[in-house]
Amino acid sequence: MMKFSVLFGLVLIGIFFTTVSDGLAYGQFSNQNTLKVSFENDILPSYEIPLVSGQTFTLSQNHSWVQDETSRYNLVSYTLDGETVKISRTARGDFTLSIPTDSSHNVVFRAVPQYALSVEGTNDFSYLPSSPTNDNWFDAGTAVSVNVQKTTEIESNKVRQEITGWSLDKAEFWNVEDDGSTSFTTPPITLNEYHQVDFFTTYQYKLNVISDYGETTGSGWYEQGVTVSIGVDAGSDGLVLNSVSGWEGADVEYDGNVAQVFIDGPVTVSAKVEKNYSLVAGVVIIPILIVGFVGFRKFKNRVPVIVEEKPVERIVEKVIERVETPEKKYKDGYDETLSKYLSEQIQSKLDEMKSSNIISETKYSKIKESV
């Protein structure tokens, strides 16, 4: 009986101490401070963290995290015990927040969904507007355009790339018009899902047409495989014409001042210009020969003058007679006929040079007016 009493007493004491111990443990836990973390719209599960009074606690949260294969969430702001604070937005890294441990706190994070807009075919482009996270991700519902430079220089003044078209999600294609502008901007694209813009380019090569005389035509940028017409108006030095006798620097098919060159890379062609004296012969030399021949015939038919020794008085009388009696002139239209003949010869020579492309239409007209 004694043993039973002692055993029963020990059991009661154990129950008492157990009850007291449990009460103390419960009281200690219920008095501990906590931090409750949750997310707006429950985009991530909430959780709770115990805080140890007197110690520093830092809360860390990713700026961005994947929602699915084509979208992600990005932090915008947080609310600490009812006070909202905006977050400086960035695509990567962790956001940290120091939490006081003297009491319990409640933090609610707000994040927005983002979608990517990829650009292929060029590196010289920009987004309008730019991404809030400084990359190619945009908040859901944002309308974004892509601005691209049409021309990308590959080799200075020799080779370049030119944008000729673009497509959206490899489904639709549009041409980029050659309107003289240096850039192109796509229509706005609404980012409620992932999108991809592809730009299509072609190589262009520089053709330089040069000449020591006159003005050239045909210089510029051309795609590979085209045939370009080139030419030069070599001009003249008075009556001495400058005519093209050939081209150097590439295989050029030419006929007079007009030629064609095939573009298979950067090309520089130079006109070989020679002096052409055909017009001088027609306008100056031929008339001189004609006048000289006619003058010789007149001299040959003239009666020779015999000089006689006569007194001074007789010589004076002869001089007076010549002054009072005018020298006989041609009255049969000889001068007019000669002038008409020379004009016809010059005109014939000009027409021949024009038809042979030795002189241009403009030069032909100017010379015809001068003569």
CA–CA distance, 337 with 67 (Å, rounded to integer): 103
* Mean pLDDT comparison of 108-122, 251-265, 333-347, highest-scoring range: 108-122
137 & 193 share domain: yes
Binned at pLDDT 50, 70 and 90, residue 255 comes out as confident
Tokens of 179: 């309107």
Would residue 339 count as lying in a domain? yes
Check if the beta carbon of residue 355 is closer than 8 Å to that of residue 347: no
Summarize the confidence of residues 293-310 as an average pLDDT. Answer: 50
**Which residues does 220 contact at the CB level (< 8 Å), separation at least 6?**
206, 207, 228
Tally the domains of the chain. Answer: 4
Check if the beta carbon of residue 91 is closer than 8 Å to that of residue 139: no
Check if the beta carbon of residue 358 is closer than 8 Å to that of residue 278: yes
Would residue 13 count as lying in a domain? no
Would residue 7 count as lying in a domain? no
Would residue 308 count as lying in a domain? no
100 & 153 share domain: no
Would residue 325 count as lying in a domain? no
Would residue 89 count as lying in a domain? yes
121 & 195 share domain: yes
End residue of a domain, out of 204, 229, 259 = 204
**Average pLDDT taken over every residue of the chain:** 79
- Packing angle between helix 361-370 and helix 334-355, nearest 10 degrees? 170
Would residue 311 count as lying in a domain? no
Tokens of 218: 């045909």
* Mean pLDDT comparison of 142-151, 319-328, 362-371, highest-scoring range: 142-151
More confident of the two residues 325 and 33: 33
End residue of a domain, out of 66, 93, 113 = 113
Residue 131: the pLDDT is 98
247 & 177 share domain: no
More confident of the two residues 64 and 298: 64
Distances (CA, A) of 15 to 5, 8, 19, 25: 15, 11, 6, 15
Would residue 133 count as lying in a domain? yes
294 & 365 share domain: yes
Summarize the confidence of residues 121-131 as an average pLDDT. Answer: 95
What's the domain range around 171? 115-204
End residue of a domain, out of 155, 180, 204 = 204
